[in-house]
Amino acid sequence: MNEARRRAYLEAMGYDVWVAKPPGPGPVRLVVGPGEGGDLLVCAAPDASGSKLAADIARALGNDPVWAWPDPDDDAARPTVDEAVADRLFTRLLVFGEELAHALFGPKAPDVLRSSAVRIVPGMDELAVRGSAKQALWRLIDGRGN
């Protein structure tokens, strides 16, 4: 008897049928680029880290930040955000975009992850076109924002 028919018989007899929920997706793995600074900047794609805006952000930080993005191949040898922070002892983690933050942390991003203060900022596309979002990012980098 196949599984669907077995469940139908049990339901017809009044039994509650519990079905194992398939496991959710695993943790997001990151491609971590070069850099030596204490800042980990996670964006949605590698091309965002090479933009003029990314260069402006790096200059504003005043160090050589490390850029990262989700690994499209989901290679298990690549670190998760937690592992990347633990390995390199980053002190600031900027995640560009709410959708990316949700993928990395779930519905609620932590304020601190190991040694790193976590801040969710607008995505790179939004920063490129919204002056107020960019101003808020500059204030945050300057230490005058949350």
Burial class (CB within 10 angstroms; exposed 0-12, middle 13-18, buried 19+) of 135: exposed
Burial class (CB within 10 angstroms; exposed 0-12, middle 13-18, buried 19+) of 125: middle
Name beta bridge partners: 42: 68, 95
Specify the pLDDT at position 4: 79
pLDDT above 90 as % of the chain:
73
pLDDT above 70 as % of the chain:
95
Separation of alpha carbons 130 and 112, rounded Å: 27
Distances (CA, A) of 49 to 32, 43, 53, 54, 142: 11, 7, 8, 5, 20
Distances (CA, A) of 28 to 37, 69, 116, 126: 22, 9, 18, 22
Tens-digit pLDDT profile for residues 35-90 = 889 999 999 999 999 899 999 999 999 889 999 999 999 999 999 999 999 999 99
**For the whole prediction, is pTM greater than 0.75?**
yes
The β-bridge relationship of strands 116-121 and 112-113 is antiparallel
- The token pair at 137 is 């990012």
Name beta bridge partners: 118: 93
SS3 27: coil
Residue 129: pLDDT over 80: yes
**Residue in this structure with the two tokens 């779930």, named with its chain if needed:** 106
Specify the pLDDT at position 23: 63
Average pLDDT, the chain: 91
